[in-house]
Amino acid sequence: MTDTPVNTRHPKGLWVLFGTEMWERFNFYGMRAILTLFLVNSLMMKEEDASLIYGGFLGLCYLTPMLGGFVADRFFGNRNCILLGGLMMAAGQFLLFFSASVFGTNISLATTLMWSALGIIIFGNGFFKPNISSMVGSLYPKQEKSKLDTAFTIFYMGINLGAFLGQLICPIIGDVKDNAGIRDIHAFKWGFLAASVAMLIGTAVFYVLKNKYVVTPEGKPLGGLPSKNDASDFEEGESQKAVFSQKALIIAGIVFLSLGAIIHFVFDQNLIYTLIYSSGLTLAGLIVSDTSLTKVERDRIFVIYIVAFFIIFFWAAFEQAGSSLTFIADNQTDRNFFGWQMPPSMVQIFNGLFVVAFAVPFSMLWDYLRSKDREPISPMKQSIGLALIALSYFIIAYNVKDLGNSGLLAIKWLILLYLIQTCAELCLSPIGLSLVGKLSPKRFSSLLYGVFFLSNASGYALAGTLGSIMPATGDKFIKAKELGIDLQAVLDKTVTPTSEQLQLLSKNQISDHNPIFAGFEIHNLFEFFMVFVVLTGLAAVILFALTPVLKKLMHGVR
């Protein structure tokens, strides 16, 4: 070994995975940017319902990776699952293109197509996402695992470069308004078509280059059929897979159903949200009930659970990007960006842009602090992430406070929000992934990643619920005025609308009452944003207070 120079270069396969993931995220985030606007403007849904669909869709996209990971491990292998997932997502986007082409003449067909498309994309994402991420890990032989942190930083940049491009192209061609600000509701289809083409390119890139580059240093193909893989990557003497007893599985089944019943009937969550929350909790319980766990292993798993719980609030706040924040960008924002009217769905592009700009400086910052022995432990970084997201909403809350029903928010505040949220993301998201890797006993590693992804899924579901409590924005007041209705008075209950007026409001997707959250009425955008400040701020403080305990439970892992 001594005469072999240390190889600091990354395998070429990383760049193939980078390119494939970049096109896939183009397809995913490009479509995400315009989805809710399409649901509201073309399929005539209420913003509230669009937010719930959006949250459920994203949540399910993080539930199906469990299935995709399982199918790859047992049957098809990573490569086939990536190809299958890519083709499914391209097909799903094409169905959305079809839906956005026919809604003008047949809205019920368009709605059916939209549901089928989202279903296919959810499963496609489930096959694609876990497998491409785990292939990044398997590119590096055991002695080169130290390069993994940098590899994942590069990969995270690929993700966000794709997100940036998707959020640039799909809004430009899909979210089109004329000079008078009137939207072309038939343009969304081009955005979905671009997403479909991007996914086809990504799949083709992977198909063509995989055999040459996605290989071991000896040139053997990676991620093939599981029957052809060997277990050389595992430590000797350690079992690779967790095996649960039949009794444990039956109890887990009963717990899953009972929790489901409570979440659905007592907490009044829809079936999709119930499925997400209940699977996460059950899987978490199943893992810790395993009797083979040592005390140290169990302690570390509890740390994963505690962190996973707190980051639910992070994603719930962060994922307002494609729903409430897009609606606000659309309806109550001055989007003049250096003399150009930016499409509302494009405003979220600043997240991807800032990640690409800051991912490397952030990892350099952690390296620097580590060299000085002052690097915060992972849960501390995550509490900083939560505090930053609370700050981002606090700034916005104060800027919408005096807007009233007709004032416009300056776009710079949304850009600042995305800047702060990106710093928060970089403190929390990549760190979370590597923390799970470091704390998990090997035999439970993929299941614990499953729990972690399910906490992301729960965050998205909560994002849907929180997005749906956005109160009426300026456009609703203007529209109501055109209909001869004083919406403010209706919301304040100082006038009682006639049944005709109620019908008119509902036909125009305007609610006649303020939303309620946890027993509180949300009267305006200030109160709406303060919900996020309180939730994420409290989460930050509690996680911060818990860090000394967590540090102990981590037993030396940072």
In whole angstroms, how close is the CB of 474 to ligand GLN at the nearest point? Answer: 30
Tokens of 204: 């083709």
- Tell me: does residue 27 bind ligand GLN (CB under 6 A): no
Q: Which of residues 297-316 bind ligand GLN (CB under 6 A)?
A: 315
Strand partners, 516: 521
In whole angstroms, how close is the CB of 315 to ligand GLN at the nearest point? Answer: 6
In whole angstroms, how close is the CB of 519 to ligand GLN at the nearest point? Answer: 30
- Tell me: does residue 429 bind ligand GLN (CB under 6 A): yes
In whole angstroms, how close is the CB of 447 to ligand GLN at the nearest point? Answer: 17
Contacts of 172 (CB under 8 A, 6+ apart): 343, 346
Contact track, ligand GLN, 340-379, x by CB under 6 A:
----------------------------------------
Residues 136, 151: Cα–Cα separation, whole Å: 7
Residue 226: what residue type?
Answer: P
Q: Rank residues 98 and 315 by Cβ distance to ligand GLN and give the closer one.
A: 315
In whole angstroms, how close is the CB of 156 to ligand GLN at the nearest point? Answer: 7
Q: Which of residues 263-282 bind ligand GLN (CB under 6 A)?
A: none
| Size, binding site for ligand GLN by CB under 6 A | 5
Q: Rank residues 20 and 331 by Cβ distance to ligand GLN and give the closer one.
A: 20
**Cβ atoms of 173 and 187 closer than 8 Å:** yes
Residues 412, 415: Cα–Cα separation, whole Å: 5
Contacts of 211 (CB under 8 A, 6+ apart): 221
DSSP for 365-380, written as a single string: HHHHHHHTT-PPPHHH
Q: Rank residues 315 and 528 by Cβ distance to ligand GLN and give the closer one.
A: 315
Residues 336, 327: Cα–Cα separation, whole Å: 16
- Tell me: does residue 391 bind ligand GLN (CB under 6 A): no
In whole angstroms, how close is the CB of 429 to ligand GLN at the nearest point? Answer: 5
Question: Which of 99, 422, 456, 458 is in the footprint of ligand GLN by CB under 6 A?
Answer: 456
Q: Rank residues 58 and 505 by Cβ distance to ligand GLN and give the closer one.
A: 58
- Using a 10 angstrom Cβ sphere, with 0-12 exposed, 13-18 middle and 19 or more buried, the burial of residue 4 is exposed
Instruction: Report the DSSP pairing between strands 336-337 and 516-517.
Output: unpaired
Q: Rank residues 269 and 429 by Cβ distance to ligand GLN and give the closer one.
A: 429
Q: Rank residues 363 and 456 by Cβ distance to ligand GLN and give the closer one.
A: 456
Residue 422: what residue type?
Answer: T
Q: How far is CA 438 from CA 287, 348, 364, 422, 558, in A?
A: 17, 32, 20, 24, 8
In whole angstroms, how close is the CB of 114 to ligand GLN at the nearest point? Answer: 22
Residues 89, 23: Cα–Cα separation, whole Å: 11
Question: Which of 100, 159, 281, 411 is in the footprint of ligand GLN by CB under 6 A?
Answer: 159
Q: Rank residues 27 and 456 by Cβ distance to ligand GLN and give the closer one.
A: 456
Contact track, ligand GLN, 496-535, x by CB under 6 A:
----------------------------------------
516 by DSSP, 3-state: which? strand
Q: Rank residues 315 and 477 by Cβ distance to ligand GLN and give the closer one.
A: 315
Instruction: Report the DSSP pairing between strands 520-521 and 516-517.
Output: antiparallel
Q: Rank residues 382 and 456 by Cβ distance to ligand GLN and give the closer one.
A: 456
In whole angstroms, how close is the CB of 457 to ligand GLN at the nearest point? Answer: 9
Q: How far is CA 115 from CA 3, 92, 96, 301, in A?
A: 59, 10, 9, 37
Q: Rank residues 463 and 480 by Cβ distance to ligand GLN and give the closer one.
A: 463
- Closest residue to ligand GLN using C-beta atoms: 456
- Phi/psi of residue 252, nearest 5 degrees: -60, -40
In whole angstroms, how close is the CB of 29 to ligand GLN at the nearest point? Answer: 7
Residue 350 has, within 13 A of its CA and on its CB side, a CA count of 21
- Using a 10 angstrom Cβ sphere, with 0-12 exposed, 13-18 middle and 19 or more buried, the burial of residue 422 is buried
Q: Rank residues 100 and 347 by Cβ distance to ligand GLN and give the closer one.
A: 347
Residues 337, 413: Cα–Cα separation, whole Å: 12
Tokens of 320: 């307002």
Residue 172: how many other CB atoms lie within 10 Å: 17
**Which residue from 310, 113, 87 is spatially nearest to 206, judged by alpha carbons?**
87
211 by DSSP, 3-state: which? helix
In whole angstroms, how close is the CB of 369 to ligand GLN at the nearest point? Answer: 23
**Which residue from 167, 185, 60 is spatially nearest to 115, judged by alpha carbons?**
60
In whole angstroms, how close is the CB of 161 to ligand GLN at the nearest point? Answer: 12
Residues 288, 283: Cα–Cα separation, whole Å: 9
Q: Rank residues 32 and 79 by Cβ distance to ligand GLN and give the closer one.
A: 32
Dihedral (Cα; 24, 30, 35, 41), 10-degree rounding: -150
Q: Rank residues 11 and 322 by Cβ distance to ligand GLN and give the closer one.
A: 322
In whole angstroms, how close is the CB of 456 to ligand GLN at the nearest point? Answer: 4
In whole angstroms, how close is the CB of 536 to ligand GLN at the nearest point? Answer: 15
Q: Which residues bind ligand GLN (CB under 6 A)?
A: 25, 159, 315, 429, 456
